[in-house]
């Protein structure tokens, strides 16, 4: 060692002694990173005359730690051994730690490994952070998040002064510290290039970790894509710009009657045969949406809609096209189901022999043969939509769609776009290509506007214009679209009162009220209650898989005595509930909801007094029945919050 080197070592040792004994650091001799670390160690109460690792994990916990850091260890090992080959025989060892400074793996000359273990307990599982053993390359590199070389008396603890170490933190793809790479050896063998080897090794480890993460993400993306393409009911087919198949999912293979798995690279025309539409879109790479295609595949005739979307390479050139195929029958069934464009009920489904119901049925026949607008009035639960469907099914429009719209259920800001449709870009979130409204979907059929009294007053003028002109204009558009639609509206409100109070337009009322049918409440058709009950018992027994033959006399007497504020809907719920819990062949009074039994109409006289709690229970149960157990609608009708309603249900013992 040269005289200059000896002097530097002596100066460094003197600076360490002055700091330990006098608490003063000499910035002219000691680097700022070292001084700052010494101050941290002093504050932590580290014993400068010790430095032996004491915080060591037992075998089981060490194995858990290695397993937790398995990716880091497996990636780092090859680089550790490569670095070791460069320093082999020179008394150095290579170490990898976790983010806390605990040693995970070591490799080196046996002599140096034994010395490290025996003198300072530098072994697997030992905590080598600054908090545990003072200033050292591992702990300090992790503390300052920076590569550093520490030699001799730069270590805070005297037992480390015979060592030199070079460490650098290892980061994940997010820049977070996950470990440290270190080379340690005799203090007299300090070389500046050692730190460069450490930094290079860390960079290689980080690059390899990033590559593995990228590959894993690619694998996950491919697996997700494969799962997605196989989970959809639509057929998916991708071809390149030469017409060769890149991908075809099982739904597409099944649609085309292909039993064997299609290999990629096959020509589309060799599998499907000549098809003008497919060939046009595949060869010309056209962008198309919902093109109707009839494809002859052997004896099978495939009728579907097809959308084609070209996709590009990185350089922007077209690479191929993806086809999305939907069988036309499924498309039609889906549309009808989603928009409710079907009517299932006829006059025969309206049960009753009372004078008032027969009068209403007669009006249905007249309305069905008319082209005039119809306004159905009646309390909630009387079956207004059933009447509307019957009018549609007995009219000349029975083959057309029946589109039902609940004006009270639509958010205020969406009513216009739901009824009249919207163009692309009409508002944030507007669907590409726009969307037809309910009036367009009901073209050549019937639109049923339920709860018309709840339509906002500012939108009623738009509806009036459609009724007058038989044309709609989509939101965000200026083109008028002719519609041929029969309008049936319904309400449980007194619209004349709403007109007087400014909540409903008078001109709209007279446009709708051309042909008016009032549906009587159940209490006004007492002779129909038992008839309806027996009908409902048959219907629900079949649908619920029960063998209910009828009802006992007390059961029928109880339902005749009840006022049925929820009308037919409440009666349906009561019978369905009774059948669900029935254990015998005939329904008994004990299986009726408590409201029906505890508050009969016949028991109430002018002088009767009932408790407020009972009144509250009756109000809650009857309203809940009216809305088929819907908590949100029930709470709104009662004028209370959902949480308040839940509390009342619990307090009153009402079952949902």
Averaged pLDDT, 18-29: 86
Averaged pLDDT, 218-240: 83
Give the span between the Cα atoms of 101 and 413, in whole angstroms: 59
pLDDT range class, residue 282, cuts 50, 70, 90: low
Residue spans per domain, the chain: 3-212, 236-335, 364-387+395-518, 524-652
Q: What is the 3-state secondary structure (H, E, C) of 184-242?
A: EEEHHHCCHHHHHHHHHHHHHHHHHHHHHHHHHHHHHHHHHHHHHHHHCCCEEEEEECC
Q: What is the pLDDT of residues 490-521, one digit of tens each?
A: 999 999 999 999 999 999 999 999 999 999 99
pLDDT range class, residue 332, cuts 50, 70, 90: very low
Residue 262, token pair as written in the block: 């299609």
Superfamily of domain 364-387+395-518: P-loop containing nucleotide triphosphate hydrolases (3.40.50.300)
Whether the pLDDT of residue 364 is over 50: the answer is: yes
Distances (CA, A) of 461 to 4, 25, 419, 443, 455: 98, 86, 13, 21, 11
Backbone angles phi, psi at 245, to 5 degrees: -70, 125
Q: What pLDDT, on the 0 to 100 scale, is given for residue 224?
A: 84
Give the span between the Cα atoms of 268 and 273, in whole angstroms: 8
Q: What pLDDT, on the 0 to 100 scale, is given for residue 293?
A: 72
196-205, 418-427, 508-517, 593-602: least confident range: 593-602
The more confidently predicted of residues 472 and 298 is 472
Whether the pLDDT of residue 606 is over 50: the answer is: no
The more confidently predicted of residues 461 and 479 is 461
Fold of 524-652: Helicase, Ruva Protein; domain 3 (1.10.8)
Q: What is the pLDDT of residues 57-87, one digit of tens each?
A: 999 999 999 999 999 999 999 999 999 998 8
Q: What pLDDT, on the 0 to 100 scale, is given for residue 604?
A: 47
Give yes or no on whether 364-387+395-518 and 524-652 have one common fold.
no
Whether the pLDDT of residue 253 is over 50: the answer is: yes
Q: What pLDDT, on the 0 to 100 scale, is given for residue 603?
A: 46
Q: What pLDDT, on the 0 to 100 scale, is given for residue 1?
A: 47
Task: Please choose, from the candidates 517, 512, 520, the residue with its C-alpha nearest in 3D space to the C-alpha of residue 391.
Answer: 517
DSSP code string of 138-176: HHHHHHHTS-EEEEGGGSSSGGGTTEEEEEEEEE-TTS-
Question: Around Cβ 13, how many Cβ atoms within 10 Å?
Answer: 16
26-35, 161-170, 223-232, 496-505: least confident range: 223-232
Does the domain at 3-212 match CATH 2.60.40.1180? Answer given as no
Give the span between the Cα atoms of 605 and 169, in whole angstroms: 88
Averaged pLDDT, 384-394: 92
Q: What is the mean pLDDT of the chain?
A: 85
- Return the CATH number of the domain spanning residue range 236-335: 3.30.450.20
């Amino acid at each position: 060692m040269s005289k200059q080197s000896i002097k530097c070592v002596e100066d460094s040792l003197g600076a360490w002694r002055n700091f330990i004994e006098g608490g003063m650091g000499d910035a002219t001799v000691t680097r700022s990173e070292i001084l700052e670390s010494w101050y941290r160690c002093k504050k932590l109460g580290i014993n400068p005359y010790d430095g032996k690792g004491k915080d060591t994990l037992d075998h089981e916990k060490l194995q858990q730690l290695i397993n937790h850091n398995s990716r880091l260890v497996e990636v780092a090992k090859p680089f550790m051994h490569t670095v070791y080959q460069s320093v082999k025989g020179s008394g150095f060892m290579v170490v990898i730690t976790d983010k806390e400074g605990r040693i995970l793996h070591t490799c080196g000359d046996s002599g140096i490994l034994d010395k490290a273990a025996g003198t300072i307990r530098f072994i697997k599982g030992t905590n080598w952070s600054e908090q545990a053993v003072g200033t050292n390359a591992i702990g300090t590199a992790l503390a300052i998040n920076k590569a550093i070389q520490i030699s001799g008396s730069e270590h805070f603890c005297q037992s480390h002064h015979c060592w030199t170490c070079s460490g650098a933190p290892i980061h994940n793809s997010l820049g977070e510290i996950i470990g440290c790479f270190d080379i340690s050896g005799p203090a007299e063998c300090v070389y500046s290039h050692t730190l460069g080897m450490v930094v290079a090794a860390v960079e290689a480890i980080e690059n390899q970790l990033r590559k593995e993460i990228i590959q894993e993400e690619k694998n996950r993306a491919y697996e997700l894509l494969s799962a997605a393409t196989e989970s959809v009911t639509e057929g998916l087919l991708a071809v390149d710009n030469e017409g060769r198949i890149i991908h075809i999912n099982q739904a597409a293979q099944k649609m085309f009657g292909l039993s064997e798995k299609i290999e990629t690279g096959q020509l589309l025309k060799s599998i499907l045969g000549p098809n003008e539409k497919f060939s046009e879109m595949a060869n010309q790479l056209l962008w198309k949406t919902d093109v109707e295609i009839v494809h002859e595949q052997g004896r099978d005739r495939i009728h579907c809609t097809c959308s084609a979307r070209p996709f590009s390479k990185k350089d922007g050139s077209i690479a191929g096209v993806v086809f999305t195929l939907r069988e036309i029958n499924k498309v039609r069934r889906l549309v009808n189901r989603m928009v409710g464009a079907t009517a299932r009920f006829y006059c025969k489904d309206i049960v009753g022999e009372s004078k008032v119901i027969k009068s209403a049925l007669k009006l249905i026949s007249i309305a069905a043969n008319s082209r005039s607008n119809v306004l159905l009035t009646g309390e909630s639960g009387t079956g207004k939509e059933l009447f509307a469907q019957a009018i549609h099914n007995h009219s000349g429009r029975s083959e057309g769609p029946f589109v039902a719209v609940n004006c009270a259920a639509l958010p205020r800001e969406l009513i216009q776009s739901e009824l009249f449709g919207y163009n692309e870009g009409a508002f944030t979130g507007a669907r590409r290509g726009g969307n037809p409204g309910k009036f367009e979907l009901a073209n050549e059929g019937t639109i049923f506007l339920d709860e018309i009294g709840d339509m906002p007053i500012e939108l009623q003028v738009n509806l009036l214009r459609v009724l007058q002109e038989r044309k709609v204009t989509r939101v965000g558009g200026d083109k008028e679209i002719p519609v041929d639609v029969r309008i049936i509206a319904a309400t449980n409100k007194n619209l004349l009162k709403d007109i007087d109070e400014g909540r409903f337009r008078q001109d709209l009322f007279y446009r709708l009220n051309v042909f008016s049918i009032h549906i009587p409440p159940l209490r006004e058709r007492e002779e129909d209650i038992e008839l309806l009950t027996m009908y409902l018992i048959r219907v629900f027994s079949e649908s619920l898989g029960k063998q209910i033959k009828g009802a006992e006399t007390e059961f029928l007497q109880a339902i005749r005595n009840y006022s049925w504020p929820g009308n037919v809907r409440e009666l349906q719920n009561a019978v369905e509930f009774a059948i669900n819990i029935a254990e015998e062949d005939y329904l008994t009074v004990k299986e009726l909801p408590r409201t029906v039994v505890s508050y009969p109409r016949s028991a109430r006289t002018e002088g009767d007094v009932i408790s407020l709690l009972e009144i509250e229970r009756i109000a809650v149960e009857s309203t809940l029945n009216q809305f088929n157990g819907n908590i949100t609608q029930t709470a709104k009708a009662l004028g209370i919050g959902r949480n308040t309603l839940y509390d009342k249900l619990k307090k009153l013992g009402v079952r949902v």
